[in-house]
Structure 1
């Protein structure tokens, strides 16, 4: 007979398992790779920075190989990782590799945010942590911040945010918060949402047959954000957001994958933003025959390569 310590309260494999005794088992995203100065394959350098010592909120910074003048100012990418709000970090092989490769292709500086993860730190903590990083970035816009890579190499008039899955949800919410509380010195030009985690208020797009996955996703949101008001919560439902019309960026690209069980959420986001009165440029990029965050797990896939090229171009458009 199994021990009471083995009794499972909540099972969301392959992400996380929560036991009745309070123990939390992360089933993926636990490996960490070190930062590197001048990666021999890409020339991209990376380093880790503690931003809020009291909480451990930090980031991995990426700098491409600079072949022109040292005074050259590059666009800034703020990247927010996915993982259901509960797994992965910027330091994992998956995200370190992907963000580094995007930095290499786009020739941008990147700040990959390490927020505190649920359920130990329930939402909205991840949103507040991400906002603290944005405020820290803004403190460099006068070229007198604590981090030389930002002071010396970033064009603060060309700032974009991107994320995948739960990270795309956070990126959107950061753009909304920047609408309500502008960050002096930062000009947001782009928002890239890849396979974003949103609730659809009404059926749009193809029907999703994987009802078990959808039910587990609904339960995941309630476990990660126990204070939620439900699916009318603007954190998860774009239709409940009152500030979409003034979204703090000029362009938005929404990437979806045909076989993603969560595809209806980002399709609904695209439709809702389209009808909101927001006057920026909105693009929908769909990959047929692919699943959720396929580009992370199979980055040499032809469609993953094409997506990265499109996102790199997006980051370099004023």
Structure 2
């Protein structure tokens, strides 16, 4: 996939050509050939889902598109989803039509509040910048858990006892790495991540198995994608991208994990490796897997209304509506204690 333009033509030399998505030039510039369109926040009159944008860090342009389903009562508290878009760490945004529509549709079906994170992208902003931006956004979300944050929808309607992280492709990789970071650095106000949803997660290794290993061109693409996003890495056995190289996987800071795979996905084997490694790590949570036959990487974004994409969405929506019984037990104890104190006054 490496190619160079004829220097006599006056055009810059290309170091990495990943059409139809992007091209990276040797001088560091990037042509994003996809994911450049944006749509404004809106109200979907069919589903009742509303959206708005919030600039979290003006200096770095870290932002979020926030989605709220149709609210029936002002006291209604809904599961909270923090979503990270895919695109190889290099293309797409929460404001892209495909991602806006996907998250909006998921919010309508699952009846959740969603925060779709806009992080800075490689190669201009190489990893770990996307991880750091996403972590800052997650901490910003956590700052609302005492109902006094800057964003009213989160203060009024988010159930912080049901916090989920999710993403597709590179976004799933980000979600996983944030759950790993949360094991070492607590979220604000002691907030905990309940569940982690990963759609076609971008994981890789120096010695992958299956079709990825037998197709040298596809393997080279995956290698170069990682190296272009994270040039400071030691290679594809970096714990950020290879779960088998992560020494602390058992500490993954959530109780539930749902992984979606696709039969024809070039990084399917990385997702399988993740599941197998997590099972063997000693992690105490519950792992679920949905493997879809005959489909390619992130087909649910390009074919959102297909039967299999809708089935995936329904499964993820069900996952997002699980209840953290331990959290609610503690909340009930606090409530009972409060009632006892009031009755004794």
TM-score by length of 1: 0.96
Conserved 8 A contact 1:15-1:84: no
Deviation at 1:16, TM superposition (A): 1.0
Matched, 1:126 2:130: yes
Which residue of structure 1 aligns with residue 263 of structure 2? 258
Conserved 8 A contact 1:6-1:19: yes
Q: What SS does the corresponding residue of 1:155 show, helix, strand or coil?
A: strand
Residue by residue over 1:98-154, the C-alpha shift from the partner in whole angstroms, topping out at 9 and shown as x without a partner, is 000000000000000000000000110000000000110111111000000010000
Matched, 1:145 2:149: yes
Conserved 8 A contact 1:57-1:114: yes
Matched, 1:282 2:267: no
Residue by residue over 1:9-36, the C-alpha shift from the partner in whole angstroms, topping out at 9 and shown as x without a partner, is 2211122102234431001000000001
Q: Give the unaligned 5+ runs of structure 2.
A: 1-5, 324-345
Which residue of structure 2 aligns with residue 99 of structure 1? 103
Matched, 1:73 2:73: no
Matched, 1:17 2:30: no
- Aligned pair count reads 316
Q: Which has the larger radius of gyration?
A: 2
Which residue of structure 2 aligns with residue 178 of structure 1? 182
Matched, 1:34 2:22: no
- Over 3 Å counting, the alpha-carbon distance change for 1:117 and 1:207 in structure 2 is closer
Deviation at 1:206, TM superposition (A): 5.9
Pick aligned residue for 2:89 from 85, 88, 95: 85
Distance 1:284 1:70 in 2: 35
Conserved 8 A contact 2:86-2:168: yes
Distance 2:208 2:60 in 1: 40
Matches within 5 A, 1:57-68: 57-67=62-72
Matched, 1:239 2:244: yes
Distance 2:97 2:214 in 1: 32
Deviation at 1:204, TM superposition (A): 4.9
Which residue of structure 2 aligns with residue 115 of structure 1? 119
Conserved 8 A contact 2:28-2:123: no
Conserved 8 A contact 1:192-1:254: yes
Matches within 5 A, 1:181-200: 181-183=185-187, 184-200=189-205
Conserved 8 A contact 1:204-1:267: no
- Over 3 Å counting, the alpha-carbon distance change for 1:203 and 1:214 in structure 2 is closer
Q: Which moved more, 1:192-201 or 1:307-316?
A: 192-201
Distance 2:216 2:272 in 1: 17
Deviation at 1:81, TM superposition (A): 0.3
Which residue of structure 2 aligns with residue 158 of structure 1? 162
Deviation at 1:211, TM superposition (A): 2.3
Q: What SS does the corresponding residue of 2:81 show, helix, strand or coil?
A: strand
